[in-house]
């Protein structure tokens, strides 16, 4: 990631956006390759969510819930892969790098921490997308889920905005978790199950009161899931929290908020490391 290229006319150093993108791709590469080396991880990343999905499917069918709820569960189970990737491979990443002694190298490197975290996000998101697709494919086959997409353009837009906002939130939390040191582990465990509930992974958030659903919408997956369900199931609009157009607008706003907050917090963390000279230490 030195950004140095040797050409026939001498040494040319990449700068600006070119150097930034080189750092992003360099950090994404080990994520893409490393996640494929341990095949058992891929199996459990697909098998365990399918078990949770199956439990909810059997409950819904036992109580004669609308058949669309089975599709809601399958989509929610697929999206849990992204939440787990953000929670453990993004938000907690800088804390784990500090524990392993790599954070000092990241801090001293000429590249920005935003480029490093963006590379982690890109590498993790591509691998997680494949696993989420496998969960949807397998769940749809096992439980005979029928889809009826009304707008592929809106569906793609919602997915991209939800991912950008979600990984922006992950970059923001990476700074917070690092500053909180060992509490990062407890916060990661604390945030796991409550988010499953309030984000409506396995049921429509319209079942909440308006203000609870509105508060839960600060998590990008909440509105992302709600909008995607409205776009792929016939009864989705009737069970949606807000209209798809409004949810797209809110997701775009969340993208801007989380990305700006991530830049601010990462800059603050770097200044703190320079001023105190001890942020990279493992203090217990």
pLDDT tens across 4-47, in order? 444 444 556 666 788 888 888 888 888 777 766 666 777 777 77
**Which pLDDT tens digit goes with each residue over 138-163?**
888 989 888 888 889 999 999 999 98
pLDDT score of 36: 66
How far apart, in Å, are the Cα atoms of 107 and each of 92, 112, 179? 16, 8, 14
Q: Helix (H, G, I), strand (E, B), or coil: what is residue 7?
A: strand
**Confidence (pTM):** 0.81
Token pair listed for 44: 């459990």
Token digits for 27? 């950090």
pLDDT tens column, 190-245: 777 788 888 888 888 988 889 999 999 999 999 999 999 999 988 888 888 989 99
CA distance 281 to 106: 13
């Amino acid at each position: 990631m030195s950004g140095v290229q040797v050409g026939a006319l001498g040494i040319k150093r990449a700068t600006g956006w070119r150097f930034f993108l080189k750092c992003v791709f360099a950090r994404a590469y080990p994520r893409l390759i490393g996640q494929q080396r341990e095949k058992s991880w891929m199996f459990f990343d697909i098998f365990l969510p399918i078990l949770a999905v199956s439990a909810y499917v059997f409950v819904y069918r036992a109580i004669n819930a609308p058949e669309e709820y089975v599709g809601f569960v399958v989509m929610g189970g697929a999206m849990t892969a992204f939440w787990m990737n953000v929670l453990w491979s993004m938000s907690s990443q800088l804390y784990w790098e500090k524990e392993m002694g790599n954070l000092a190298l990241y801090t001293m490197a000429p590249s920005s921490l935003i480029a490093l975290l963006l590379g982690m996000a890109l590498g993790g998101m591509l691998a997680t997308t494949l696993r989420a697709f496998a969960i949807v494919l397998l769940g749809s086959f096992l439980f005979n889920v029928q889809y009826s997409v009304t707008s592929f353009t809106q569906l793609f837009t919602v997915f991209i905005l939800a991912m950008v906002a979600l990984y922006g939130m992950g970059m923001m939390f990476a700074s917070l978790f690092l500053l909180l040191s060992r509490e990062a582990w407890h916060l990661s465990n604390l945030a796991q199950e409550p988010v499953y509930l309030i984000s409506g992974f396995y049921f429509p958030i319209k079942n909440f009161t308006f203000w609870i659903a509105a508060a839960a919408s600060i998590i990008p997956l909440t509105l992302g899931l709600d909008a995607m369900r409205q776009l792929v199931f016939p009864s989705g609009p009737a069970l949606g929290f807000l209209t798809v157009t409004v949810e797209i607008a809110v997701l775009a706003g969340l993208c801007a908020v989380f990305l700006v907050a991530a830049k601010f917090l990462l800059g603050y963390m770097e200044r703190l490391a320079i001023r105190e000279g001890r942020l990279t230490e493992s203090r217990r």
